Amino acid sequence: MRTKVAAILTATLLTGSLLASPGTARAQLTAGDDLLAAARAGTSERLVSSRPSPAEVQRALVKIARASDGRVRLGAIGRSNEGRPLRLASVGHGPLRLLFVTQQHGDEPLGTPAAIRALWTLGVPDTPWQRALLKRVTLDVVVQANPDGAVRNQRYNHDPSATGDYAEPGVGYDINRFHNPLTPIADNPVPESRAILRLWHATRPRIVVDYHMQGRYVQPDGRETTASILWPTSPLVTDTTTSRQLAVRNYDAMTKLAGANVTRYPGGDYEGIARNAYGILGSASLLVELSELPEDQAEFQIRTAYVSMLATVQGAADGSLWRIDPARADTIPARGPSLPSATTHTEDAA
Ligand SMILES: [Zn+2]
């Protein structure tokens, strides 16, 4: 006999099979699906601006923690080179651990307001949907992983003494090249990366999703890519099954629930990239890159990341994620060429 919670999940949550049948998805979703309802509610929750300062992030998180009656818990996993806290927000008490990371590149901000909105949706309302999810999963979010870069609107962290590969002399390090699990953490020169690696080892998340932003790209059919995704491609990752299932789950939710035009990100194999590193360590790992659309479409992009976050949490909680055919990931279309008129982003390789 199924438990009451399982029955609620089965009856009301968006399942993988529902997502896999686009013809019927809309009718069933508008019949009251909780994920869609949450997504709608989220669009009216403007807790921060689209490019929030660390102080704004802090105020929003404190507000959410208070409003959640303790369900959203705040902490820090360390400090940046300038002493800013690297903020951690956690929700849920289930055995299945998830980790989201936003804004490792300080000039790629939109994952941060999306995460704040997702934390509100998961932690503040207290309905059977939230209770069912939070019983099954514990979500940790490193919110704005590069606060020193965020205040400068720069890709790198702030470390004028930075030298060597993946460093910009006089500026700092590229945090997303310093997650190499083969390097002893004590030898890692980047405090933000060290803190995330230590969090991974302390929590051993089943899923890691890392939120970034890319330039602008056009498809052969003339449509613009609004987001790209990719799973680990390092040859050190021997089994990408769960990561590709995670990619398909995100592709379906972002396209069908958020209206995004999603392509496959052409990322590299280097093991210092978070997408590869946490795949090597054994997590289902995914990179999400929101395109740098004009400012008046920031809300659309925040919503895409927000839907990705909720769909990941729900797919993990109800188990539908692990029933997805991973081979569908290989059918996600390749990203097209740059939009000729677009300003190029600072080397947007994740
Ligand atoms: Zn990036």
- Which residues have beta carbons under 5 A from ligand 1 (an ion)? 105, 108, 212
The string of DSSP codes covering 213-234 is: EE--EE-TTSPEE-EEEE----
Q: Is residue 196 part of a domain?
A: yes
Beta strands, E only, the chain: 72-79, 85-91, 96-102, 137-143, 167-168, 172-173, 207-214, 217-218, 224-225, 227-230, 262-264, 284-291
Q: Is residue 297 part of a domain?
A: yes
Q: Is residue 331 part of a domain?
A: no
How far does the centroid of ligand 1 lie from the alpha carbon of residue 314, in Å?
A: 25
295 is catalytic: no
Lowest mean pLDDT among 35-39, 82-86, 177-181: 35-39
Q: Is residue 134 part of a domain?
A: yes
DSSP3 helix / strand / coil % (the chain, rounded to 5): 45, 20, 40
Catalytic-labelled residue, pool 289, 292, 299, 347: 289
Q: Residue 163 pLDDT more than 70?
A: yes
Domain extent for 273: 4-323
Q: Is residue 347 part of a domain?
A: no
**pLDDT tens sequence across 291-346:** 999 999 999 999 999 999 999 999 999 999 999 999 999 999 999 999 977 655 54
CATH number at residue 207: 3.40.630.10
How far does the centroid of ligand 1 lie from the alpha carbon of residue 30, in Å?
A: 34
Q: What is the C-alpha radius of gyration for the chain, rounded to an integer number of angstroms? A: 19
Q: Which residue has the tokens 């929101």?
A: 290
Q: Is residue 157 part of a domain?
A: yes
Q: Is residue 195 part of a domain?
A: yes
Distance CA 139, CA 202 (A): 13
Q: How many domains does the chain have?
A: 1
The string of DSSP codes covering 143-157 is: ESS-HHHHHHT-SS-
**pLDDT tens sequence across 233-286:** 999 999 999 999 999 999 999 999 999 999 999 999 999 999 999 999 999 999
Q: Yes or no: say if 141 and 88 are a contact pair by the CB < 8 Å rule.
A: yes
Q: Is residue 344 part of a domain?
A: no
Q: Which helix (H) or strand (E) holds 159?
A: none
